[in-house]
Amino acid sequence: MSQLERIRRPADLRRLTSPELEVLAKEIREFLVSSVSATGGHMGPNLGVVELTIALHRVFDSPVDRIVFDTGHQAYVHKLLTGRQDFSGLRRRGGMSGYPSRAESDHDIVENSHASTALSWADGIAKANELRGLDDRCVVAVIGDGALTGGMAWEALNNIADGQDRSLIIVVNDNGRSYAPTIGGLAHHLDALRTTPSYEKVLGWGKRTLQRSGTPGRVAFDALHGMKKGLKDVIAPQGLFEGLGIKYVGPVDGHDISAMEFALTRARAYGGPVIVHAITEKGRGYTPAEEDVRDRFHAVGVIHPETGLPVAPSRFGWTSVFAEEIVEIARRRSDVVALTAAMLAPVGLAPFAEEFPDRVFDVGIAEQHAVTSAAGMAFAGLHPVVALYATFLNRGYDQVLMDVALHRAGVTFVLDRAGLTGDDGASHNGMWDMALLRTVPGLRLAAPRDAETLRAELREAVAVEDGPTVVRYPKGAVPEEMPALARQGSVDVLARHAGTPRVLVVGVGAMTRTAVEVGAALDAQGIGSTVVDPRWVLPVAADLVDLAARHDLVVTVEDGLVTAGVGSALRDAVAEAGSDVPVRSHGIPLRFLEHASRGELVEDFHLRGQDIAREAAASVASLPTLPSRVDATEV
C-alpha cells in the first residue's frame, strides 16, 4: 500500500516519520494531477497546500478542533486526509463536492465557496466555544487565494483581536494569487514580508556595526533602540497584524512540513488569536502549472495530465464575445472603464486590460467596493462596466440598490455564469440575480440569446447614463445565431405557428431555444403559438404586456428563480394592465441545489421543451373556449 492509501483519518498522519511524510506529499500531488485531470476541478490551489494541510492535521485534532477553509476550493487535500479518496465523481452528481460538504464529513464546516467568510465563521465558533466552556479545543481558519483582499475578512479580524483568551489560529496561505496575482496594499505588504531580510538579522547587523565602530555604550544603545523602532515601523512582519492585537508567527515556508508544524504548535500553545503566515506556491510540483503565467490551472476542465492541455478544445464562449465587444466599445468611447473583483481573465477583461491598462481596475475580492467605486466613477463622468460572475453580485446587492440605483448612476453590470452552472454546487449557481435585481428601481436588465444579441445589448446598456443596466449570460459555449422573424416594438418574435396563436411563449436569454422547442411541440399538437424574446426583460416592456393580453395563455421560461423572477414580473404587469390572461412560469425552484450538470438540473426541474409543452397543452385544454383575442396576422 502507498502512504496515501494508509491514511483513513487524520490521526494516521501522526505515526509517520519525516521521510514518510515527504513520500505522502509526493503521492498526494501525483493523485491530484491524475484525478483532477480526468474530472476537471481546482488543481492549482490544492497542489499549493499539500504540506500545509498535512501539518494542520498533525497538529490539530479535527473534528474536535474545527478547521474552516476560506474559498473552499483549496480543501481537496483535506478531503484526502479525512478518508475521502474516491475522486472519480468529483463535482458530478452522486460524487464528491468540489468544496467542503457537511453531507460528506464531520470534518467539513463551511460549504459556501464565496471568499472572505472563514474568519467570521471562526470568530463565531470560538465565541460559542468560550461561552459553552469548551476550552480544550481550537478553531483554525485557513484563508488564502486573495481572500484577505475582501473587506469582510478585515471586519472579522477587528473582532477576533478583541478575544484575547479565545484559541483561534488564522493560517494565511500566501501564494500571492487568487485567480490572478493578488492586488492592493495588503498584497504589497505581504510581498515585502516575503522579500525583506528578517527583523532579527537586520538588528544583528546593526549591533555588530555599532560595536565595530567603537560607539560609546549609551549612544550605541540609543542608536540601536531607534533602529529597532524604525524597523518595526517599516519592515517588521508582525507590524500589520500585531497592530490589531493579534500575535503573528512567520513568514513560514508552507512547503516545509516540520517548519509548519513548529509554527502551528507555537500558535496553539499561545492560547489566544494568532496569525501563522505561510508562503506557498500555487500549482507546486506540477510543471505545466508552475510555468503557467496566466493561472489557467486555478480550475481546469478535463486535461492531458502530461501536458496540461485540454482533451477537447473549448468552443467559442459567451465570455469571449463579451471580451471582444467591450474592447470595441472602449475604442470608440474613452469614458468607458472596466472593474472586476479578482477575476480579470475569467470574466473576459484580460484583452481590455492589455489594450487599456489605465482603464481597468481589479479591486480584489471586494464586490461591494467595486460597485460603490463604480458609482463614484459614474458621478465623475465615466461609464463603468463591472464584470462579475452572477453569483458574486449577490454580495453587492445593497450597493447596487443604495449607491448606484438611488443615485441614478450610469453603471453597467455584466454577469457571467448566470443561471445554472451546476458543477460547483449551491453557492456558484447564478440563479438569484433576476429575482434580486427585480427589486431595484430604475434598473434595466437584458438577457441575450446569442452572440449578436449580446453585442447589441451590451452596446445599448453602455448608452444608458441615468441608471444601472445589467447584461447577463450563461456559462459555456455560445449557441448558433437565432435571428428574429420580426421585431414588435422592443420584443423579438422568434417563431409563429399556424392557426390561432393561443399561446405566447416567452424565452429569457439562454432559455429562448427551449421556448422555440415549446412552440414547435405545441404546433405538432395543433396549438398555435407565438414565441418571443423580450431582449430587455426588466422592467417588463409594455409591448410584451400588450402581446400577452392578446393570447389565451402565456408561458415563460427562464434560468433564474421562478419565485419572484421574470415570469412573476410579467404576471404582475399583465394583472396591473387589467388583463385576465393566465401566466404559467417555469424556472429554477427556490432551494439550494446540489452539484450536478446543467442538463441534469434542467431535467430535474422539468425545464426541457417537451416538459413545458406538455404542461402548456394541458393548460390550453382546460381553458374555456373563447373567441380569439388576436388575429394571427397581428403577431
> 247, 189, 199: which is closest to 227 by C-alpha?
199
- Distance, in Å, from the CA atom of 154 to the CA atom of 149, rounded to the nearest integer, reads 8
- Beta bridge partners, 586, equal 557
586 is in an annotated binding site: no
Please calculate the CA angle 463-465-470 and round it to the nearest 5 degrees. 70
Catalytic residue among 51, 261, 367, 517: 367
Task: Please state the length of the chain.
Answer: 635
67: nearest Cα among 238, 216, 264: 264
Rounded Cα gap, residues 306 and 529, in angstroms:
53
Separation between Cα atoms, residue 218 and residue 278, nearest integer Å:
39
Is residue 147 a known part of a binding site?
yes
Please, how many CA atoms are within 13 Å of residue 518, restricted to the half-sphere of its CB? 33
Tell whether 261 is in a known binding site: no
User: Residue 180's closest CA among 286, 74, 32, 296?
Assistant: 296
Helix boundaries (H) for 425-535: 433-437, 451-462, 512-524
Return the axis-axis angle of helices 451-462 and 318-332, rounded to nearest 10°: 40
3-state secondary structure (DSSP) of residue 568:
helix
Does 173 belong to an annotated binding site? no
DSSP 217-271: HHHHHHHHHHHHHHHHHHT-TTHHHHTTT-EEEEEEETT-HHHHHHHHHHHHHH-
- The DSSP code for 479 is P
Note every long-range contact of 196-199, with CB atoms under 8 Å and residues 24 or more positions apart, other chains counting.
196/235, 196/237, 199/231, 199/232, 199/235, 199/236, 199/237
- Alpha-carbon gap, residue 61 to 64, rounded angstroms: 6
107 annotated among ligand-binding-site residues: no
Query: Is 397 a known ligand-binding residue?
Result: no
Whether 282 is catalytic: yes
Give the residue among 512, 505, 511, 507 at the shortest CA–CA distance from 620: 505
> CA distances (Å), 142 to each of 29, 49, 127, 242, in order?
20, 10, 18, 18
Taking CA 207 as the corner, what is the angle to CA 205 and CA 213, rounded to the nearest 5 degrees? 100
For residue 336, the cross-strand partners are 383
Euclidean distance between CA atoms 477 and 559, whole angstroms: 16
**Residue 367 labeled ligand binder:** yes
255 labelled as ligand-binding? Answer: no
Choosing from 58, 66, 395, 438, the catalytic residue is 395
Considering 58, 282, 475, 502, which one is annotated as catalytic?
Answer: 282
Return the closest-CA partner of residue 46 out of 100, 116, 127, 102: 100
- C-alpha cell at position 432: 438569484
The answer to whether the annotation marks 286 as part of a ligand binding site is yes
| 114 marked as binding residue | yes
Q: Quick check: 409 and 468 in contact, CB under 8 A? A: yes
Looking up cell 484575547 gives 164
Residue 395 catalytic?
yes
User: Any bridge partners for residue 252, and if so which?
Assistant: 278
The residue to which cell 422547442 is assigned: 517
The sign one gets for the Cα dihedral 592, 595, 597, 600 is negative
Beta strands in 259-355 (DSSP E): 274-279, 336-340
Residue 60 DSSP label: S
3-state secondary structure of 583: strand
Query: Torsions phi, psi of 421, nearest 5?
Result: -105, -30
3-state class (DSSP) for residue 573: helix
DSSP state of 619: H
Task: Answer yes or no: 201 catalytic.
Answer: no
Q: Which residue positions form the known binding site for Mg(2+)?
A: 145, 175
Q: Which residue positions form the known binding site?
A: 73, 113-115, 145-147, 175, 286, 367
Q: Which residue positions form the known binding site for thiamine diphosphate?
A: 73, 113-115, 146-147, 175, 286, 367
Which residues have a catalytic role annotated?
A: 282, 367, 395
